[in-house]
Structure 1
């Protein structure tokens, strides 16, 4: 029996078999019985929806905690292999790449979709980008959960979702690296 609640009758939630299979694999990797799963893999995991499935919010929260555990383990391993100075140097380099992207002018930070295609709202992404700039330059409090869960309204001719999502993943990587 699972520890996740299911969605209400007739509603769609995450496929229980996929979730349970993924968590079983994660447990095996964590215990050292298997390989091939990283914090980034956990962050990018997606499940099909089906009627009567697991409540997505509960599963997502568990995946975020799992990602944190894997990221901490990966950080410790990398620090021991690379040394503290090299580890932070790499995190600083990634942070600089992020800041360089975010320092671009509003409405020009990312590739735009065509006027007929939906992307992310440029105003909302630019507003969140300004917060991230302040996080990197002034130490403004922004949590990893805020970065992981931020959503943007769709907009025709908006920012390309894949580029924005990749940058947010990189921000998460840096935040987890310097915790």
Structure 2
């Protein structure tokens, strides 16, 4: 097989040089599982599981951005199916009410004072930079309260520098996951 033919058979571009990418076998296996689940309609995988998928990094792996973009599209497809099933089961009104309740929980967290929205790690441990998280939290608040434009992709792409005494990463990540869930629920 020529290099050109091998390149065409790969679903994603490869990381170049010393750059690491996602382990190809792990990605391929996950995508095969996601495709099988989606096509069969079974509930062995859902939108959240797609969002939380993680892969080891390897030299010669798939380019991270390309895989992440594909995972975002796959998550959207699973979320749309979950939304359709829930609406068929409980009705559109109940579905919207549930999304509103979840949005209110997020807003309650965001109404805390800047610098106090999440638990902090110890003074010598690293967490997410509070100032950066608070900027994103303010933007999320404007999205929910005033309808300021914000996309799921922007929330997914939120990244924060590590900082001593910062916010607990797990709490921030859980909130961002909840935001994505709500945004996908009302799309």
State the TM-score, normalizing by the size of structure 2.
0.93
**What CA distance in whole angstroms lies between the structure 2 residues aligned with 1:34 and 1:142?**
31
Residue aligning to 2:61: 53
Q: 4+ runs of 1 displaced by more than 2 Å?
A: none
CA displacement at 1:35 relative to structure 2: 3.9
Deviates more, 1:1-10 or 1:71-80: 1-10
Query: Which residue of 93, 99, 106 corresponds with 2:101?
Result: 93
CA displacement at 1:2 relative to structure 2: 1.9
CA displacement at 1:9 relative to structure 2: 2.7
Deviates more, 1:125-134 or 1:30-39: 30-39
SS at match of 2:127: strand
Residue aligning to 1:138: 146
- Pair 1:117-2:125 in alignment: yes
Query: Which residue of 153, 171, 175 corresponds with 2:161?
Result: 153
- Pair 1:162-2:170 in alignment: yes
Q: Deviations over 1:43-87 (max 9, x none)?
A: 000000111010011000000000001100100000000101111
State the TM-score, normalizing by the size of structure 1.
0.97
**What CA distance in whole angstroms lies between the structure 2 residues aligned with 1:8 and 1:27?**
27
Residue aligning to 2:5: none
RMSD: 1.0
CA displacement at 1:33 relative to structure 2: 6.7
**What CA distance in whole angstroms lies between the structure 2 residues aligned with 1:18 and 1:149?**
22
Deviates more, 1:31-40 or 1:13-22: 31-40
Mark the runs of 5 or more structure 1 residues left unpaired by the alignment: none
Mark the runs of 5 or more structure 2 residues left unpaired by the alignment: 1-8
Q: Alpha carbons of 1:34 and 1:92: their partners in 2 closer, same or farther (altered >3 Å)?
A: closer
Q: Deviations over 1:82-140 (max 9, x none)?
A: 10111111111100000000000011100000011100111111111111111111000
SS at match of 1:31: helix
Aligned pair count reads 179
Query: Which residue of 166, 174, 179 corresponds with 2:182?
Result: 174
SS at match of 2:119: coil
Query: Which residue of 4, 13, 25 corresponds with 1:17?
Result: 25
